[in-house]
Structure 1
Amino acid sequence: MAPRRTTPSTDAAADLTQARAHWLRADLVAWDVPDAGNGTHRLHWSQQGDLAVDAEAVTGGSSVPLTHDPAGLPADVLAQFPHLGGLQAFRLDPSAAALAGEILTGQLAVASYAPDGTLRDATGVQVPGVLDHLYADAADRGLGVTWRGGTPTLAVWAPTAQDVTAVVGGKGVPMERQRDGTWTVTGSPSWKDAAYTYEVRVWAPSARAVVTNRVTDPWSVALTTNSAQSLVVDLSDPALAPAGWADTPPPVIARPVDRTIYELHVRDFSIGDETVPEGERGTYLAFDHDDTAGMRHLRHLAEAGLNTVHLLPVFDIATIEERRAAQLVPDCDLASLPPDSERQQECVEAVRAGDGFNWGYDPLHYTAPEGSYATDPEGTRRTLELRRMVQGLHRAGLQVVLDVVYNHTAADGQAERSVLDKVVPGYYHRLDAAGRVESSTCCSNTATEHRMMEKLMIDSVLTWARDYRVDGFRFDLMGHHSLENMTRLRAALDSLTVSRDGVDGRTVYLYGEGWNFGEVADDARFVQATQRHLAGTGIGSFNDRLRDAVRGGGPFDEDPRVQGFGSGLLTDPNGAEVNGTPEERRAQLLHQQDLVKLGMAGNLADFRFTSSRTGQEVRGADVDHDGRPAGYAAEPSETVAYVDAHDNETLWDSLALKLPRATPMADRVRMNTVSLSTVALGQGVVFWHAGTDLLRSKSLDRNSYDSGDWFNRVDWQRRENTFGSGLPPRADNEDKWVFMRPLLGDPALRPDAAAMDEAHQRALDLLRIRSSSRLFRLGSARAVQEKVSFLDAVPGVVAMLLDDTVGADADPDRDAILVVVNATPQPQVVSGTGARWSLHPVQAAGGDAVVRGSTVADDAVTVPARTTAVFER
């Protein structure tokens, strides 16, 4: 660390280890300097990295003057960098600004001197703004490996580098710097499939030195084992295409609202499936079989109406050992341990840093397939096998969505698993006011508001869509991207055509987590891609309003027993004080019913309906959800409805925590179906967590991202439920163990095969009902307002009428559909329905004898307890 001035003549904390100034344009620097018009200021730089602070000045290197501009930062600059609004503006004269490219290749500092020449303050400089300003043309260049006539060219954007060498096949090849800050070298056809890295000599602020980094290509599309080197690969090479690749189109999904999504983890899907060849369990190839337990399960869902599989990250993951033989496994007989024991999680904890499991939200290379899911992580096998996975799912009648994580990287700076920051230090990540990398997303936040980070994101998505025929993308923490990022990506996808690119990009669906938090919250740095801003874009976001109303509470509750509409808040009180008095529970349930109604109507901001709470007409945006408007979407395609996902407890585990412990197993199974029905039979996009249809449990684990195969396993043959697999890992669950231990130790709460079979069959019926009529899949807000209404019902019941006698004809076979969701423990009568109803044919012929007990009268229907019944006429 550079020494600081300690004499009384200055009160500044001159510190070059921080970066509190911002170079924004070639001639413009922003910095917070009190009394900036009184004194002098300089920009210092050193290509040797030897700048330091002594008692009187910044020493070493060279410097140019900075002139305080009392007019402040220009309006266009403040529009781009609103978080810098409190800083002063300083100008470089034209001759100094002309040196910007050279200056940026060294260590930077700014210093402020008092009129008597004493040092008042000094700090390092953040450079993303000026790099985007000077090198904007690089966004139009192809980076990574590009091919022309069988000859590859390598290109890496490294505008602050002093030198870059490509190391191809172990041999160093000098690269030539281009005017846009890119370094390039054209090789020969013999480079095909060769391993390569870059040697980048650059000033690294985290190291406080000029370093030479040996680093892989940020634009890598293929890698050697454990991501040690990039590969010179041509994704259009016929050798990387599976047999029939060109002749296996995806199933057609005409509109986003026709989409029903099943969220899967590649390893979970088959690691415990004995019907899959042993060497292919937990791999891409498990999806390329026709007659395994897992694929039979998916095909049965597809036949019922499921049409999309959402895969947790399959890009190159930083924290998984890719060599299967080197992966650790627990050294315990886990199955023999008591259901409420601490031992299982201790055994998993001992090996989890080196086992083969992780959800994968720790990206290393965004556009290369993960090697641990391949039968061989070396070379291009993973490319071929991932394509075979996509092909197998398409063949089964399922489109493929990839979970993508462009909002952070696994590491930054000079860390072992850092890539971007070793190429252009301080650029790709979002920095705080002192120049430290923000980490509100859990890891090193990226800055897609910077032009080249946005380019990396868009180039990556286009590669997955074009070269792997991926049909959609789910964006992790999408609210940490700007709305402009997402609309530019949407436009780039829309430009893909079948004739040129092999895919119609307009059919690729985008959705994600539109949460509002962290350093970007409330549009602090840009207009975010959050729920409220996505209206009108056609981009979907998860509807946490429906989730919280059905389950009860939220994901961060200290007491997990908070109940909701689907877990018996008023009708099945669990006795927990957190749920309040009977009067408070009733009021809360009526509010939850409004959220369920709104959610089933697509969570539209302008949808008008009668409030269960007030009896008055309300608009979706006027319904409250934790101080925010509940309704936010402009069109139903912009809402992704769900009640469970990989995050937080599974639906079954949530019900276990919230329902009264004495609730019989049969009633628990029915409540699982009732909860799922609010998603399956509502407007918008349907999203189910894998296994929710067969009562999947993670033994109450609320965050199983690194809990190993034991807590994440699923049995597609429905022989064994995983509830009671031990107390879940201490780190994320210990504060809830007091609630969990008695539940896990109760054998009455563990579903048997019959219970799982019942749940699965009823879930299939929900899918069949949804796919039976376009009334469940209205494609516009206007149609939803015309055709969807809700009848009066008692607390704990939602009665939704889909009337096809008004507006344009959506279903020529029906005049209307009535959905009654009875979450109470008693049969319920809904009046004012009109006449001529009959139970939906799917339920009339289905395996649920209870729903077949529903009855109809001249102007009413009666629905059994804990049942969702669907009628038509």
Structure 2
Amino acid sequence: MSFTPHRSARRLAAALALTLGAATLLVSSLQQPAQAAPSGPGQVSAQWIDRDTVVWKGAERAGAELEFGPNRSGAAGRRIRLTPGTLTPAERNAFPHLTGYPAFTVDPRDRGLARTALRGRIVATQHAADGRSLTTGVQIPGVLDDLYGDRAQHARLGPVFDHGRPTLSVWAPTARTVALELDGRRVPMRRDDSSGVWHVQGQRDWAGRPYRYLVTVWAPTVGRTVTNKVTDPYSTALTADSSRSLVVDLGDLALAPKGWADLRKPAAVPLRRARIQELHVRDFSVEDRTSRHPGQYLAFTDQRSDGMRQLKSLAAAGTSYVHLLPAFDSATVPEKRADQARPGCDLASYAPDSERQQDCVTKTAARDAYNWGYDPLHYTVPEGSYASDPEGTARTVEFRRMVQGLNGAGLRTVMDVVYNHTAASGQDPHSVLDRIVPGYYQRLMDDGSVATSTCCSGTATEHTMMGKLVVDSVVTWAKEYKVDGFRFDLMGHQPKANILAVRKALDALTPAKDGVDGRSVILYGEGWNFGEAANDARFVQATQKNMAGTGIATFSDRARDAVRGGGPFDADPRVQGFASGLYTDPNSSPANGSPAEQRTRLLHYQDLLKVGLTGNLADYTFTDSTGRRVTGSGVDYNGAPAGYAAAPGDALAYADAHDNETLYDALAYKLPQRTGAADRSRMQVLALATAALSQGPALSQAGSDLLRSKSLDRNSFDSGDWFNALHWNCEDGNGFGRGLPPAADNKDKWPYARPLLADPALRPGCATIRHTAAAYRDLLRIHATEPAFGLPTTDAVQKALSFPLSGKDETPGVLTMRLDNLVIVFNATPQRAQQTVQALAGEPYALHPVQAHGTDRTTATASYARSSGTFAVPARTVAVFRRG
């Protein structure tokens, strides 16, 4: 699940050119001619960080001032005087990235002007010693938090009902005026000067009506005062295509499907034992001929469909959660079916290695019904394109019915949430937050530009009200939609404190008070460390190392790379790993190096896998493949510690997810092309086993147990149903050979892809697909029935888990793990392997009954010689032995 920087940018650019979407922009000059915003490299390089202090990168350490007020041509504004100063320890702690820049102190006589100044244009000016006049715009999030944050963070925003009467509230401290647009009329709103919240109380008959806010505010990106017609960031419901918010009470009994109040959930599973299927709502059913609601939330209520039968079988085997890719309101999919474009080609008629499919799909991609959904518009409303009717509250009811359907199948529900960026910023029509409080919700760079390291307009979750929005949104999903877990996209771009605040708010939810047990809700996310926040530059991030010990898991890329080989961005996709034949079954790629280099790298990969099997524990001690005694944190992963977890549950294991090639596709690139279907199946199961049989939580992409392919597409966020749809009926294939994947993200790999896609031997038949699925379910059953896979602490793991054959003499391509009364042998080689553990000679081990009586009769031939303590395991097999 490595980050793909451009996964939404291409789709957004095309879609924004086609539709206004969320709201309409009304620019009002207010009888004033437009004035250009300050220009040059330091366009907005001054930052007003609290009521007392301004920091100005590039300024001289001399007197300066803030100008505000009337901006008519030739009109005089008012001034706030600044004197040279220094940052206090508290300010340096709050704004570490500003340490070392010139700081100025607001003249005590002018501090009372701040609230007035912030409701209009502000510039910082300084007359330099050489006669130059320096001018720059001013970033204001810090001072807004200082002046309004304490009161505003306790406000109830959006529509709030009291005995049937709604009150609508929006935080807009810099606005000159805010009004409500309802029924074509303008309703004034009142401002609370202490919090910056505007509100209006309505009548009972407002319920269900569409509304927008009319916010008159200075917009720095266009250098003028504007009146924005904008939807509610705290919307609880929307009209089609998010053009209006709706005055809706989520507690209205009319929105509760039958049985909602008394919904019985499957038993809560601790995060350290969670086994998770990652699933896209549309992928799940859009090509399922047995579903009555293809591509919709209601497909999860079709209990007899092929897709639901598959999910039930996984739940019965031990899968505990379904992780839904983003299902909140997103910006770029037309919600009305009549507006959704479809490829105008006979896609099935082209050759499996043709360029025609991707060309045809790409032509309609910006207007079709498909997107992963990582382009947030309204964080707390279900996406309308998955509803039977995008108008009104059908999406609310049907999302709840989806949760019911999954719970009834024995699965709890996780939502993928994307609070690290918005679909757009500034005066863009898909910008909601930034058109209400310009320059506050987005994270700004030192020059005032919006940070885009997450692919889109980054959000500043370190700011009080953006952090509050995250907490309030998650609580709403948990309480009103009974969601059982949350996966945070690019969580490392958020403060650790914000994620811990989410945890605290969830823990406060009780069945008696809220109808849900918030303590059972699981949290995990992408703890990658990159971009403008990297290395805690702006705050303590929610990264892998920082989240250790919190009970909130982060995805671990260590074992993922070891089992697959190389990394997700390799120029040559044939770089091999443990489960793809490195050294033991080499392919022709020179990128793998010499046989000696391959052997060394394979053994190091085995050390990474050992760390992964412990749950990525930092302090777990073992003997590595060189014979050294090391800890998990002492094993190198691209210059970083491999082990970073403080306890099982801190790291989430996986072999594939929606980002990058599916596991089958990665193995298609990496295994020698001559590898037969049966052996590809066995390597798929073995790779999945390294996550499924690890300590801590594990995730697999839906369909990986069915050898799911996206026809080698590494970034299918906008590749439509043709490349993404799940095929539950094996007669429809596994998706391999549906054409060359879209050029924008894959063309550099087309030379490697063509011969593979054209090879009919790489398209598995039903027997192979069914065999893979059954073997994977056996692994899940073993995990679910053996308590040793749920150890709670590092000490418990240290005592129960070991790698008895690890060291200078260990076998390349074979990894043996002892876990309490189990011995697990991962044989990734093309030959039967014998592993002798002398300390176990005389002990009564036998192949685990699940595998001994399972579908895979090859695995059933694994044997144990008691007299010598020798475990014999077939080629490309993971075998679990139990002491009996």
Per-residue displacement from partner, 1:820-866 (whole Å, max 9, x unpaired)? 01000011111114321111111111111111111111211100100
Residue 812 of structure 2 is aligned to residue 795 of structure 1: yes
* 1:18 aligned partner, one-letter code: Q
Q: Which residue of 1 aligns with 2:352?
A: 339
* Contact 2:53/2:106, CA 8 A, preserved across alignment: yes
Answering whether residue 72 of structure 2 is matched by residue 44 of structure 1, we say: no
What is the distance in 1 between the residues matched to 2:72 and 2:567? 52
- Find out whether 1:23 has 2:11 as its counterpart: no
1:339 aligned counterpart, secondary structure: coil
User: Displacement, 1:785?
Assistant: 1.1
Counterpart for residue 624 of structure 1 = 636
SS of corresponding position for 1:367: strand
Letter in 2 for 1:246: A
- 1:744-780 deviation per Cα after TM superposition (whole angstroms, max 9, x unaligned): 0111111111111111111111111111111112122
- Structure 2 matches for 1:548-559, cutoff 5 A? 548-559=561-572
Aligned partner of 1:230 in structure 2 is 245
Q: In the aligned structure 2, how far is the partner of 1:862 from the partner of 1:407?
A: 49
Relative contact order (alpha carbons < 8 A, sep ≥ 6): 1 or 2 greater?
2
1:103 aligns with 2:117: yes
User: C-alpha displacement at 1:114, in angstroms?
Assistant: 3.6
What amino acid is the match of 1:825?
Answer: P
Counterpart of 1:869?
879
After TM superposition, give the deviation of residue 115 of structure 1 in Å: 5.6
Q: What whole-Å deviation, never above 9, does each CA across 1:498-521 have from its counterpart, x for those lacking one?
A: 111111111111100000000111
Q: Does structure 1 residue 258 correspond to structure 2 residue 273?
A: yes
CA–CA distance in 1 between the matches of 2:92 and 2:134?
24
SS in 1 for 2:803: strand
Query: Which runs of no fewer than 5 residues in structure 2 stay unpaired?
Result: 1-33
> What secondary structure is seen at the aligned counterpart in 2 of 1:677?
helix
Contact 2:41–2:447 (CA under 8 A) maintained in structure 1: no
The Cα offsets for residues 530-581 of structure 1, whole Å up to 9 and x where unpaired, read as 0010111000000100100000011111111110001010101002111111
Contact 1:272 1:281 (8 Å CA) reproduced: yes
Residues 751 and 151 of structure 1: is their aligned pair in 2 closer, same or farther, counting only changes over 3 Å? Answer: same
CA contact (8 A) 2:420 2:494 kept: yes
Q: Which runs of 5+ in 1 are unaligned?
A: 5-12, 52-58, 804-815
Match of 1:328 in 2: 341
Q: 1:846 aligns with which of 821, 832, 854?
A: 854
Could you tell me which residue of structure 2 aligns to residue 811 of structure 1? none
SS for the counterpart of 1:401 is: strand
Matched, 1:370 2:383: yes
* Matching residue within 724, 727, 730 for 1:718: 730
What is the match of residue 821 of structure 1?
A: 826
Q: 1:25 is matched by which residue type in structure 2?
A: D
Secondary structure of the residue aligned to 1:526 is coil
CA distance in 2, matches of 1:61, 1:273: 68
1:241 matched to 2:256: yes
Structure 2 equivalent of residue 679 of structure 1: 691
Sequence identity of aligned pairs in percent? 54
Q: What do residues 158-206 of structure 1 show as CA deviations (whole Å, max 9, x unaligned)?
A: 0000000011222211000102101000011111111110000000011
Q: Within 5 A, what are the aligned runs for 1:206-355?
A: 206-277=221-292, 280-355=293-368
User: CA shift at 1:610, angstroms?
Assistant: 1.4
Structure 2 equivalent of residue 85 of structure 1: 99
CA distance, structure 1, for counterparts of residue 104 and residue 399 of structure 2: 52
Cα distance in 2 for partners of 1:853, 1:712 equals: 37
- TM-score of the superposition, structure 2-length normalised? 0.93
SS at match of 2:401: helix
Which SS does the other structure have where 1:98 is aligned?
helix
Aligned residues: 838
Q: Name the SS for the 2:730 alignment partner.
A: coil
Q: 2:68·2:117 contact (CA, 8 Å) conserved in 1?
A: yes
Q: Distance in 1 between matches of 2:579 and 2:726?
A: 24
Q: 1:704 to 1:50 in 2, by over 3 A?
A: farther
Please state if 1:159 is matched with 2:173: yes
Letter of the 1:787 partner, please give it.
A
**Displacement, 1:35?**
3.8
Query: Which of 153, 160, 167 is matched with 1:146 structurally?
Result: 160
| 1:857 pairs with one of 865, 870, 873 | 865
CA contact (8 A) 1:482 1:527 kept: yes
**For residues 16 and 196 of structure 1, do their structure 2 counterparts lie closer, same or farther at Cα, with a shift above 3 Å needed?**
farther
Once residues 265 and 74 of structure 1 are traced to their aligned partners in structure 2, the CA distance between those partners, rounded to angstroms, is 48
Deviations 1:417-443 (A, max 9, x none): 110010000000000111010100000
How is 1:174-189 mapped onto 2 (pairs within 5 angstroms)? 174-179=188-193, 180-189=195-204
Q: Give the TM-score, by structure 1 length.
A: 0.95
Aligned counterpart for 1:445 among listed residues 458, 466, 470? 458
Post-superposition Cα deviations, 1:280-302, rounded to whole Å, max 9, x if no partner, equal 21000000121111100000111
Could you tell me whether the CA contact under 8 Å between 1:270 and 1:283 is conserved in 2?
yes
Question: Does the Cα contact within 8 Å between 2:83 and 2:107 map onto a contact in 1?
Answer: no
Other structure's SS at 1:247 match: coil
Matches within 5 A, 1:326-725: 326-612=339-625, 614-719=626-731, 720-725=733-738
Query: Of 809, 814, 836, which residue of structure 2 is paired with 1:831?
Result: 836
Deviation, 1:17, is 8.2
8 Å contact 1:2–1:16 — kept in the other structure? Answer: no
- 1:2, CA displacement in angstroms? 6.3
Is the Cα–Cα contact under 8 Å of residues 164 and 198 in structure 1 kept in the other structure? yes
The superposition leaves residues 573-629 of structure 1 with CA deviations (integer Å, 9 ceiling, x where unpaired) of: 0021111111110110000000111101100000111112x1122100010000000
Alpha-carbon distance in structure 1 between the residues aligned to 2:667 and 2:571 = 16
Counterparts of 1:107-122 in structure 2 under 5 Å? Answer: 107-114=121-128, 118-122=131-135
Please say if 1:759 is aligned against 2:772. yes
Once the two structures are TM-superposed, the CA of residue 14 in structure 1 deviates from its matched residue by 6.5
In structure 2, C-alpha distance between the alignment counterparts of 1:27 and 1:636, rounded to whole Å: 45
Give the structure 1 partner of residue 21 of structure 2: none
Q: Deviations over 1:431-476 (max 9, x none)?
A: 0111010100000000000000000011000000000000000000
For residues 733 and 94 of structure 1, the distance between their equivalents in structure 2, rounded to whole angstroms, comes to 59
Distance 2:106 2:271 in 1: 52
- 1:247 Cα offset (Å): 2.3
Give the drift of 1:61.
Answer: 4.1
Cα deviation, 1:343-388, whole Å, max 9, x if unaligned, reads 0000000101000000000000000110000000000000000000
Q: Shift of the alpha carbon at 1:69?
A: 2.7
Indicate how the Cα distance of structure 1 residues 848 and 723 shifts in structure 2: closer, same or farther if over 3 A, else same: same
Distance 1:16 1:108, change over 3 A: farther
Does the aligned pair in 2 maintain the 1:284–1:373 contact within 8 Å? Answer: yes
Q: Work out whether residues 623 and 631 of structure 1, in 8 Å CA contact, stay in contact via their aligned partners in 2.
A: yes
Does the CA contact (< 8 Å) of 2:273 and 2:695 recur in 1?
Answer: no
Question: 1:665, 1:748 within 8 Å by CA — same for their partners in 2?
Answer: yes
Q: Give, in whole Å, the separation in 1 of the partners of 2:186 and 2:82.
A: 44
Q: Match for 1:738: what amino acid?
A: P
Is the Cα contact below 8 Å between 1:16 and 1:124 reproduced in 2? no
Rounded to whole Å, the distance in 2 between the matches of 1:313 and 1:778 is 31
- For the residue of structure 1 that corresponds to 2:549, the secondary structure is coil
- Separation (CA, whole Å) in 2 of partners of 1:431 and 1:2: 22
* 50 and 123 in structure 1: CA distance in 2 versus 1, 3 angstrom threshold: farther
SS of the equivalent of 1:818 reads strand
| Cα shift at 1:15 | 4.6
Question: How far does residue 34 in structure 1 lie from its aligned partner after superposition?
Answer: 4.7
Secondary structure of 2:698's partner?
A: strand
SS in 1 for 2:153: helix
TM-fit CA distance, 1:94: 2.8
The alpha-carbon deviation at position 97 of structure 1 amounts to 1.2
